[in-house]
Amino acid sequence: MVETSLLVDANNHLGEGPLWDVREERLYWIDSTAAEIYSCRADGSDVKRYFVPRHIGSMALREQGGAVVALANGLHFYDFDAQTVEPIGDPESDDPETRFNDGKVDRKGRFIAGTMAYDFDRFDADRGQRPTRSGGLYRLDTNRAITRLDSGISCSNGPCWSPDNRTLYFTDTYEKLMYAYDYDIETGNVSNRRVFASARNMAGTFDGATVDEEGYVWSALVFGGRILRFAPDGRLDRTVPFPVRNLTSVMFGGPKLDVLYVTTMGRPMWGIPQKERDKGGLFAVRGLGVRGLPEPRFAG
């Protein structure tokens, strides 16, 4: 039996990026527009909060300690104890209308993250209004080199990999499309982008995503109040209703990697009212009958 429960009443403005670390057995997540990082134990206890200097799109833990954070002004290393950042680079420093958003680490220890347009007010996907396609998809190598992998993106979200490392899934939230790329795990290069799934006939749109050990893709349907599971061939396999309409991202975690952690949005956006009492909270979904895959740390 599937059970969804509020784990942490975080009241996040824009909760995002749940990340279960198997080494620490802790869950991390961010409040993107409040510029905060959170962590807690598997049961939601021992909540800790950290601050970053700018809007944060995503984060990943490092093998040598601390984290990589994708901020509005580029990629940085983060020291949790001092709560300070060390700049790595900003490939879009000449464009003040974009910021970094979602990102994850591949199984060779590289950080893959994309950018998004800041022009929120011109977005209404259900009415066909979309902002500029000025964002890109980037790879941060362990030697700190930053490489652009793709362009023409409105809102980068949901990077995750198939268990065999041959496919990178990636969402453009504003376009209501999830893509699949051929992924070369040895080089970190992408090719052959194609549409994997579309939300254009659905209420809501794709946001954060993860892949389970069977190779199925789980996506948070933001503004749609559902979690969707897609088969490797793009077929919609399962729909899980969710008590908050504006869920933002998903990640399997817990000691057995069988709990799906879900972040949500607490602030109203684009005139859409936020009426749920638990909006902005961190949730846990149990009883799905599947397990996730361990998330790697950045190797640089």
Q: Which residues are annotated as a binding site for substrate?
A: 99, 101, 119
Q: Which of 160, 167, 154, 252 is nearest to 205 (CA)?
A: 154
Q: Identify the bridge partners of residue 171 per DSSP, sorted by sequence position.
A: 157, 178
Active site residues: 207
Phi and psi for 50 in degrees, rounded to 5? -130, 160
> What is the CA 242 to chain-centroid distance, rounded?
18
Residue 35 carries which side chain, given as an amino acid letter?
A: A
Tokens of 25: 């057995």
Count other Cβ atoms within 10 Å, centred on residue 275. 9
Look up tokens 């389970």; give the residue: 212
